[in-house]
Amino acid sequence: MRLARLIRRIFFAACWAAALRASGQTSIRFALKGRVVTPEGLVQNGTVIVSGSHIEDVGELSVPAGTRVIETEGLIYPGLVDLHNHLTWNVFPRWKSGMKFPNRYEWQLLPAYLKALADPHEHLIGEGLGPAMARYAEVKAIAGGATALAGLYPEDLGPGFRPPYRGLMRMLDVGSGIYPDGTPEPVRYHVYPLVLSEGDASEIRDGLATHRIRSLLIHLAEGGPNDASSMMEYRILKARGLLLPGVTLIHGVALHEEQFREMARLGVGLVWSPRSNFELYGATADVAAAKRAGVRIALAPDWSPTGSDGMLEELAYAAALESSSREPVFSDSELLEMATSVPAALAGAGDRIGAIRRGACADLLIIRKSDLPGGSALDHASPADVLMVMVGGRPVYGQRALVESVSPGVDLSEVSVSGTTKVVALPSDPSIGNWHDLTARLDAAMRALGTHLGPISSD
């Protein structure tokens, strides 16, 4: 118990320090009132007390004297945790090939793909626009309710980039802000794990064994359900000794009962990205079999060209898929867990993000009230319903009145989202510029390459 208290105290200190640095203030404490979704259930007249960057308390509380009270008039959820994205690619509009493919290697060689996405992406990164692309895509991810994400590639940020990345949200593998400064991030993210050098693979195996690495997220078996080469990826991963506790497979469309049982036994998780899978392969992972086997399953949008613009849109897609199915696999509240507590646990950070509980980081998503139950309300919400997104106790996005009631005087930029106007508190970065300059510069550069800047949300 004493050790647990000590660990919590160190963690609070790290959270506090981060918040104070970010705000320039000496103390921050306020109470958010609304209907609060906690691991124990929905608290109708709930209060979340935020102290610095962490949650001090939650429940039906009487607010301590002198604490600022903010009536959100909304539903308060933990910020959503996205374990599968390709951030800088989300500047592009949707890509519709009109074809279905056997596996990912097929469409990645298609001239139409190279023309619409790969070539312009390479060109934009080559022009040094990576940081601006990342910033735009961060706002897009936050508009979809995410506060933590994996899938920002350091190489996209230019040769001068040194981690940690400091932006609006937590980048789980390159700048989470969860751990004290100088601590290497315990999350690794790989798109092509089979081309890992033996040195890298060995470093990952050792890291997982010693818990220096808590989570390895890898793309695997992305193809049709009967694609032999996709299935072979699983066998190769296993043969290389990388099917280990702490590993999470992204996609897994070609996997079956036998692999799912093995994954469950070894503590290997799965990230499900149904929209992108149906778009590219006409099928998705057999999540019914994975669930039956006991695999922990998270939900994530992949990327906006073929998947969803963000987590809320992917949740709505999955909820619609389930409600149209004769044999639905997940309830609305399970889908909510697949976007919050499950991915947080798979990232090795289940005690810090993914749930509204005492001591966790104050990462919150507040949406418009609804008559639906907690899980259902979020699964059927759209980015237009978002009232505020908070990361580490700082409101970074939402409706102007609510954001300003928490952070009066902060510099806000207006963003058009699904026919509504939201505001975002952009970090000051002269090399990227304000929102207007950033979007104008990206759109002009993309039009010169025969494409254009995609919307924040097309839903």
At 3, the amino acid letter reads L
Nearer to Zn ion among residue 77 and residue 303 (C-beta): 303
Number of residues that bind Zn ion (CB under 5 A): 1
Q: CB 300 → Zn ion: shortest distance, Å?
A: 9
The span from the CA of 80 to the CA of 318, in Å, is 15
Contact 83, 271 (CB under 8 A): yes
CB closer to Zn ion out of 84 and 394? 84
CA 182 – CA 456 distance, rounded (Å): 33
Any idea which residue has 């404490």 for tokens?
Answer: 29
Q: 29-38 and 68-78: which strand pairing? A: parallel
Q: Are 247 and 216 a contacting pair, CB within 8 Å? A: yes
Interface pattern 160-199 for Zn ion (x via CB under 5 A):
----------------------------------------
240/447 Cα distance (integer angstroms): 44
Nearest-angstrom CA–CA distance, 203 and 213: 9
- Whole-number Cα distances in Å, 304 to 190, 219, 278, 349, 453: 19, 17, 13, 26, 12
User: At residue 58, what are phi and psi to the nearest 5 degrees?
Assistant: -150, 145
Least distance (Å) between residue 314 CB and Zn ion: 12
Give me the amino acid identity at 334.
E
Shorter beta-carbon distance to Zn ion: residue 315 or 406:
315
Site pattern 48..87 for Zn ion (x: CB under 5 A): ----------------------------------------
User: Cβ closer to Zn ion: 63 or 118?
Assistant: 118
State the nearest-atom distance from the C-beta of 248 to Zn ion, in Å: 13
Q: How far is the CB of 138 from Zn ion (least distance, A)?
A: 17
Complex with Zn ion: residue 302 or 337, whichever CB lies closer = 302
- The CA radius of gyration of the chain, in Å to the nearest whole number, is 21
Nearest-approach distance from CB 84 to Zn ion, in angstroms: 6
CB of 304 to Zn ion, least distance (A): 12
233/302 with CB nearer Zn ion: 302
Nearer to Zn ion, 130 or 307 (CB): 307
Q: Are 76 and 292 in contact (CB under 8 A)?
A: no
* CA–CA distance, 355 with 291 (Å, rounded to integer): 22
The contact pattern for Zn ion, residues 285-324, with x = CB under 5 A and - = no contact, is -----------------x----------------------
Query: Closest separation between CB of residue 116 and Zn ion, Å?
Result: 17
Q: Which residue is nearest to Zn ion (CB)?
A: 302
Q: Is the peptide bond before 164 cis (omega within 30 degrees of 0)?
A: yes
Residues at the site binding Zn ion, with contacts judged by CB under 5 A: 302
